[in-house]
Structure 1
């Protein structure tokens, strides 16, 4: 089956992080401008680096195309890289925000 090897886990990672925030942690991170600014900063670094690593003219990282969606944008970057990147960075930020909230709660008791 095309796309299951990399695409399906990438989509599952995004859904898992969304569920983690919207149903479990409820930190309100997605409502914070600082979060969205951080995502722009991440993309500002991810696009040139990932584009250099995955460019089809001289790839350093080679993907088996039968395991991806085949969608590459921009600079030949598989869209799955953006999904995994978003899930990883967002999960780290969610856990960080949650940890800070718990530390503050402990300090006040």
Structure 2
């Protein structure tokens, strides 16, 4: 059973951010290789740090398992952490891109797809 305390909000965060881009913002962020490369870089740092913080052998951060899905991968990282990470980083990049597009519209500059 899905833990409502942490899992459901993590899933909803991803859905909200993806819908926000696809329905309202239309920045094209998901079509850019630079976005996906940046997400790989984020994961490259998130996995060792989060793995160290949540390792079951000596956790620094302890989760109430009743509030999570119980799925941990790799190194005991709750999968919900990856969902929240995706949603947070993507939301920031979408806001940044939206601001860039607005600034270009105000100054009359052409916005180049990167």
* TM-score of the aligned structures, taking structure 1 as reference length: 0.97
Alignment partners' CA distance in 2, 1:6 and 1:42: 21
* TM-score of the aligned structures, taking structure 2 as reference length: 0.93
User: How far off its partner does 1:103 sit?
Assistant: 0.3
User: How far off its partner does 1:70 sit?
Assistant: 0.1
2:81 aligned partner: 81
2:56 aligned partner: 56
Structure 2 residue runs without a partner (length 5+): 110-114
Asked if the contact 2:29–2:94 (Cα under 8 Å) also holds between the matched residues in 1, the reply is yes
User: How far off its partner does 1:43 sit?
Assistant: 0.2
How many equivalent residue pairs? 109
Equivalent residue runs for 1:3-18 within 5 Å:
3-18=3-18
SS of 2:83's equivalent in the other structure is helix
Alpha-carbon RMSD across the aligned residues, in angstroms, is 1.2
User: How far off its partner does 1:108 sit?
Assistant: 1.5
Alignment partners' CA distance in 2, 1:70 and 1:26: 35
Range that drifts further, 36-45 or 1-10: 1-10
2:27 aligned partner: 27
Runs in 1 of length 4+ with deviation above 2 angstroms?
none
Alignment partners' CA distance in 2, 1:2 and 1:66: 9
Alignment partners' CA distance in 1, 2:44 and 2:19: 26
